[in-house]
């Protein structure tokens, strides 16, 4: 008798987590591995946020809270949405989860029925399709061209919509490409969605504050008359270097928020009380360090893009957000190099040069690989030398 559920058989373990774990194991075995797989800032959580957590612990703020967030955190989130995105929410329209990932998972579990389709532009964050599958839905993958900067076009969106479409996932800036949609591009996509009144939009804004080249950030709910159909998800993990604190949140229609709360009440219940106290300080406290850190990320981006484009066989676009690049390695695949796929490319890179990256096929677009430059410039310099040497050995 097979005890494992059929639902679980449909999905795979997270490739990014797998790569990061492999890098850890090799380092533990004495290998000098540079891990460029994890989407985790190397900066520390700011001291004012840490101190807020310590204060909460000392004050005995260590008990259960409301299932989907404390009033203090919900009010801080409402303030953030109003000030930064010009979006007005009430506490009944806010949910807090154990990371942004849980918010997304809860949303799909709460809303999808068997056969419901979710449009997912590719390349995509690795977890989107599997979360949809676990919830009984059907991922509708729409491949976006490199020539379009890996962005979804209105024409491709129109073509992907069917009678079964329930959600579209909109991630800007993008993981894995770092591409960010302009206000004009969002408006054009919104026109398609306004006409299709049954479709809901899940806007993943987790990289909102990591933007470059004077790019102004906009989220879709503030651009068009779609707020009543949009779940706007964000969190403190990336912008505030709080990945381990596990706090994500979203604003959206009361009906959806209530359903998410119901799912969460039967899974994890409330997020950590101490982490919530820290998140209040993150949202309400000083924001100056965000710009300082974004400048450092930009330096790293410029260095990595420049270095990669000097390597024969590699082509890399310049992203204007997040902390990833998504270079093409297509020219290094084939009979000459004996590497058939991007998976073989990244496996050999790790084996021969001790650099861990993630294959593009994990993100729905083969022939590429993702590099996270959310690590020190010192490590990036060594990594670029190793990648160059490896690629040259193939030519």
CA 164 vs CA 116, 168, 229, 383: distances in Å: 5, 12, 16, 45
Report how far residue 256's alpha carbon sits from residue 270's, in angstroms, rounded to the nearest whole number: 17
Give every CB contact of residue 340 below 8 A, 6+ residues apart in sequence: 333, 334
Q: How many other β-carbons are positioned within 10 Å of the β-carbon of residue 42?
A: 16
Report how far residue 222's alpha carbon sits from residue 257's, in angstroms, rounded to the nearest whole number: 19
- At 338 the three-state DSSP class reads coil
Report how far residue 278's alpha carbon sits from residue 73's, in angstroms, rounded to the nearest whole number: 9
Side-chain half-sphere CA neighbours of 5 within 13 A: 7
The yes-or-no verdict on residue 7 having pLDDT over 90 is no
Closest CA to 171 of 213, 197, 142, 212: 142
Closest CA to 188 of 223, 160, 159: 223
- Residue 339 carries which DSSP code? B
Read off the tokens for 198.
């049954």
Q: Which residues pair with 93 in a beta bridge?
A: none
* CATH 3.40.50.300 correct for 63-284: no
Report how far residue 323's alpha carbon sits from residue 210's, in angstroms, rounded to the nearest whole number: 7
Q: Binning pLDDT at 50, 70 and 90, where does residue 90 land?
A: very high
Considering only residues 371 and 1, tell me which one the structure prediction assigns the higher pLDDT: 371
Q: Which residues pair with 315 in a beta bridge?
A: 328
Question: pLDDT digits over 271-307, tens only?
Answer: 999 999 999 999 999 999 999 999 999 999 999 999 9
Cα distance between the two ends of the chain: 51
Note the pLDDT of residue 20: 78
The yes-or-no verdict on residue 16 having pLDDT over 80 is no
Closest CA to 14 of 97, 168, 129: 129
The yes-or-no verdict on residue 354 having pLDDT over 90 is yes
Note the pLDDT of residue 19: 78
Q: Binning pLDDT at 50, 70 and 90, where does residue 29 land?
A: confident
The yes-or-no verdict on residue 22 having pLDDT over 90 is no
Report how far residue 52's alpha carbon sits from residue 55's, in angstroms, rounded to the nearest whole number: 5
The yes-or-no verdict on residue 44 having pLDDT over 80 is yes
- At 364 the three-state DSSP class reads coil
- Asked if 201 and 161 touch (Cβ cutoff 8 Å), the reply is no
| CATH 3.90.1150.10 segments of the chain | 6-44+289-394
Closest CA to 203 of 220, 227, 216, 178: 220
Please compute the mean of the pLDDT values over residues 225-253 and round it to a whole number.
Answer: 97
Question: pLDDT digits over 142-197, tens only?
Answer: 999 999 999 999 999 999 999 999 999 999 999 999 999 999 999 999 999 999 99
Note the pLDDT of residue 395: 76
* Average pLDDT of the chain, as a whole number: 96
Please compute the mean of the pLDDT values over residues 212-236 and round it to a whole number.
Answer: 94
Considering only residues 270 and 4, tell me which one the structure prediction assigns the higher pLDDT: 270
Closest CA to 20 of 358, 381, 348: 358
Note the pLDDT of residue 31: 87
Closest CA to 253 of 81, 70, 69, 89: 89
Note the pLDDT of residue 10: 86
Q: Which CATH class is domain 6-44+289-394?
A: alpha beta
Least confident of 15-19, 224-228, 333-337, 374-378: 15-19
| CATH 3.40.640.10 segments of the chain | 63-284
């Amino acid at each position: 008798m097979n005890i494992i559920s059929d639902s679980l058989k449909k999905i795979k373990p997270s490739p990014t987590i797998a790569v990061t774990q492999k890098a850890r194991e090799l380092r533990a075995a004495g290998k000098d591995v540079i891990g460029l797989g994890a989407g985790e800032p190397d900066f520390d959580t700011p001291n004012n946020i840490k101190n807020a957590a310590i204060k909460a612990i000392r004050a005995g703020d260590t008990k259960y809270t409301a299932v989907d967030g404390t009033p203090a955190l919900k009010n801080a989130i409402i303030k953030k949405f109003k000030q930064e995105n010009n979006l007005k929410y009430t506490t009944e329209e806010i949910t807090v989860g154990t990371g942004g990932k849980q918010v997304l998972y809860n949303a799909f579990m709460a809303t999808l029925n068997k056969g419901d389709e979710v449009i997912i532009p590719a390349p995509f964050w690795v977890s989107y399709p599997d979360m949809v599958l676990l919830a009984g839905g059907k991922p509708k993958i729409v491949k976006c061209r490199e020539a379009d900067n890996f962005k979804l076009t209105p024409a491709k969106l129109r073509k992907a919509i069917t009678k079964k479409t329930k959600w579209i996932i909109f991630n800007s800036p993008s993981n894995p490409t770092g591409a960010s949609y302009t206000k004009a591009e969002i408006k054009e996509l919104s026109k398609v969605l306004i006409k299709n009144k049954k479709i809901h939009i899940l806007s993943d804004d987790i990289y909102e504050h990591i933007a470059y080249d004077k790019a102004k950030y906009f989220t879709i709910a503030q651009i068009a008359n779609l707020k009543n159909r949009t779940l706007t998800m964000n969190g403190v993990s990336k912008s505030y270097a709080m990945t381990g604190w596990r706090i994500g949140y979203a604003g959206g229609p009361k009906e959806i928020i209530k359903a998410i709360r119901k799912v969460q009440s039967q899974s994890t219940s409330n997020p950590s009380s101490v982490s919530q106290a820290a998140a209040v300080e993150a949202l309400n406290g000083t924001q100056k360090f965000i710009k300082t850190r974004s400048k450092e990320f930009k330096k790293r981006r410029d260095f990595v893009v420049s270095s990669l484009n000097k390597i024969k066989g590699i082509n890399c676009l310049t992203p204007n957000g997040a902390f990833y690049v998504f270079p093409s390695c297509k020219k290094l695949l084939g009979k000459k190099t004996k590497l058939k796929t991007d998976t073989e490319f990244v496996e050999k890179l790790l084996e021969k040069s001790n650099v861990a990256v993630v294959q593009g096929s994990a993100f729905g677009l083969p022939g590429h690989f993702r590099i996270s430059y959310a690590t020190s410039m010192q490590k990036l310099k060594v990594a670029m030398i190793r990648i160059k040497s490896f690629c040259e050995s193939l030519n």
